[in-house]
Amino acid sequence: NAGVTQTPKFRVLKTGQSMTLLCAQDMNHEYMYWYRQDPGMGLRLIHYSVGEGTTAKGEVPDGYNVSRLKKQNFLLGLESAAPSQTSVYFCASSYSGEGGTEAFFGQGTRLTVV
Amino acid sequence: GQQLNQSPQSMFIQEGEDVSMNCTSSSIFNTWLWYKQDPGEGPVLLIALYKAGELTSNGRLTAQFGITRKDSFLNISASIPSDVGIYFCAGPGGTSYGKLTFGQGTILTVHP
């Protein structure tokens, strides 16, 4: 039972470098999300998608871009990494529908920008 | 945006003690979810609440959906070392899109 899989699990970037985080889910969920987790701040929504080919901004979208070309995949891109983007990133997915807000999370990607 | 205030921020307890934590919202929620995050892992759903006044149990965990629909409570009875982790409350992000707003989390440490 794979569920939600994130790659990579760890990454160190230099300021200004770019990278893409990949999220894959095998539950046929319509909704997918990218959150970042920082100490004392809980989980903050970066971007989300309500279906293949659609994306929308969350609470903290600046500095990130996303794409949902296939239903099972949701990519998070950093075009020019900054130290403020050092964080743990979590991808999640959920099925659609009123009240269907239970989200299933991946194991996270720990990103350090130096 | 919607705000969730979770308290306490951290707790240090002895094994066997009971634990209570709560979450309040600036607006009405139709769903309350409680997640637990083990060290190095992603959050996992513990309990889901869908009706005001609802009281739901999952083993030693009990959660309640407040009557005002602006708060929720999680209780853990007879804590054990594996209860260690971060507990998050969460609710819908203001629309029916399915996205969640999370509280800041309660860090629980259990001393054997």
- A90 inside 8 A of chain B by CB: yes
Q: Are A33 and B97 an interchain contact pair (Cβ–Cβ within 8 Å)?
A: no
Q: Is A41 left (phi over 0), alpha (psi -120 to 50) or beta?
A: alpha
Residue A32: which of A54, A61, A10, A11 has the closest Cα? A54
What gap in Å lies between CA B24 and CA B28, rounded to an integer? 10
Find how far residue B33's CA is from the centre of its chain. 7
Determine the pLDDT at residue A97: 47
- A27 inside 8 A of chain B by CB: no
Please measure the distance between the N-terminal and C-terminal CA atoms of chain A and give it in whole angstroms: 35
Q: Cα dist. B38→A25, A55, B43, B86, B90 in Å?
A: 21, 29, 7, 7, 17
- Counting as low any pLDDT under 70, the low residues of chain A are 1, 96-101
User: How far A74 CA lies from chain B's nearest CA (Å)?
Assistant: 15
pLDDT at B29 over 90: no
pLDDT at B112 over 70: yes
Find how far residue B62's CA is from the centre of its chain. 10
pLDDT in tens, B69-91: 999 999 999 999 999 999 999 98
Q: Are A45 and B45 an interchain contact pair (Cβ–Cβ within 8 Å)?
A: no
Q: Are B98 and A96 an interchain contact pair (Cβ–Cβ within 8 Å)?
A: yes
In total, the C-beta contacts within 8 angstroms joining chain A to chain B are 72
Residue A103: which of B23, B4, B48 has the closest Cα? B48
What's the rounded mean pLDDT across residues B6-30? Answer: 94
The DSSP 8-state label assigned to residue B39 in this structure reads: T
- Please tell me the least confidently modeled range out of A19-28, B17-26, B55-64, B96-105: B96-105
- Residues whose CB is less than 8 angstroms from the CB of residue B59 and which lie 6 or more positions away in sequence, other chains included: none
**Residue A60, SS3?**
coil
pLDDT: is B103 or A1 the higher one? B103
- Residue among A91, A101, A104, A107 with most chain B CBs within 10 A, to mutate: A101
- Range list of H helices, A1-114: none
Find how far residue A18's CA is from the centre of its chain. 15
